Amino acid sequence: MPLPVNGEVTIICLTDLVELPDLGLRLTRGTKVGVPLSSAMKSRDLSKAKMDGTVSTQTLRASAIRAQEHVSSDTTTSQAPRYNPVAPVDLTPLLEAIRVLTEEVRAMRVELAARPAAVINMDLLVARLREVTPDKVREAPRDEPRVVFQDEPMFIPSGLTGDGLETSLDVAAHSSEAPGLTDAAKALKTVRSARRR
């Protein structure tokens, strides 16, 4: 029995809004519209939309054949992902999995909140590290508290002055009388004081 050829293309909108001006169409998500095959083949907007993946088409030539051919005069094929909004998706297993995970996380939070804060035994840690890498462990002095500035951005690393590293550089020191500098400081103070008045 020959397959019916009814010359119609069904356009299915896959995104929030698609406009096909040369077909006079404005489609919202999930909308299906039938257009004559001849119009669909001439439409450049439809061809572009198919390539962008914003619409899919079904050509009603035979019910066993899925519509994939282009409908424009060019020979490119659509690279859009195949999404069939008609086929129903059973979300029940997914929702159940999410529910189980949520319950687990909730229980873990309760458990963590109940535990006291971990205290690191420094002596034990240093001893263990020395067993593994005896030459590479040097303990920083503990009596110098590390200064943490609460108002500073954390993306700037701390400890950049080499805490625990002993350094003595040969620094070129030079002393001079520099009377001009003292005069400059006094002059600047005078200028600024005058401005404040």
Q: Which residues bind other proteins (CB under 8 A)?
A: 136, 147, 149, 152-153, 156-162, 165-185, 187-189, 191-192, 195
Q: Which is nearer to other proteins, 63 or 193 (CB)?
A: 193
Q: Which is nearer to other proteins, 81 or 179 (CB)?
A: 179
Min dist. Cβ of residue 18 to other proteins (A): 37
d(CA 146, CA 182): 36
Min dist. Cβ of residue 173 to other proteins (A): 5
Q: DSSP string spanning 53-81?
A: TSEEEEETT-TTS---S--SSS-------
Min dist. Cβ of residue 24 to other proteins (A): 46
Q: Which is nearer to other proteins, 89 or 172 (CB)?
A: 172
Min dist. Cβ of residue 140 to other proteins (A): 13
Looking at residue 142, the DSSP 8-state letter turns out to be T
Tokens standing for 160? 């950049």
Q: Which is nearer to other proteins, 134 or 179 (CB)?
A: 179
d(CA 33, CA 19): 12
